[in-house]
Amino acid sequence: MSPDALILTNKPILNDMKTINQIKKEEEDLRVEIDNANYVRDQKEINRIKKRLDFLKMCRIYLETRPSEQYIQGELTRLNNTIEILDERFPAWSAGRSGGGTELKRQYNAVTDISKLRSQVRTLEYLLT
């Protein structure tokens, strides 16, 4: 074994990021599914597919800005840290407020836009897998 084989590098191990072509292929496949759902007139299925197409379009447009894999990973880490901090701050925020725990949590989530942050996390995780 060479001595170089034992040298550790500080390079992060990254996943294979989605490409624009992969997303375009998935969009094409979903358009075929819409045609099939139209054939059997399944409106619920058509709506589900359209939501997915909107999501993929947003991902494709984002990838067209050419973000690096490291940048996306950094953003994912930052968002997860923000969500964790907001979750830790909930007890202090809810102290002295009246209402049930579920209602207070809902109000806190609305104030802090945690659902938007979680949506961003899911999108970035999708792009990195």
What does each C-alpha distance from 41 to 32, 46, 51, 90 come to in angstroms? 14, 8, 17, 46
Shared-domain flag, residues 88 and 101: yes
- Cβ–Cβ contacts within 10 Å for residue 72, how many? 21
Judged by DSSP in three states, 65 sits in: coil
Shared-domain flag, residues 29 and 83: no
- Asked if 127 and 63 count as a contact pair (C-beta separation under 8 A), the reply is yes
Domain span holding position 45: 16-66
Shared-domain flag, residues 100 and 128: yes
Shared-domain flag, residues 62 and 115: no
pLDDT tens readout for residues 66-119: 999 999 999 999 999 999 999 999 999 988 888 788 899 999 999 999 999 999
Domain count, the chain: 2
Question: How does residue 7 score in pLDDT terms, banded at 50, 70 and 90?
Answer: very low
Residue 97 in tokens: 């407020």
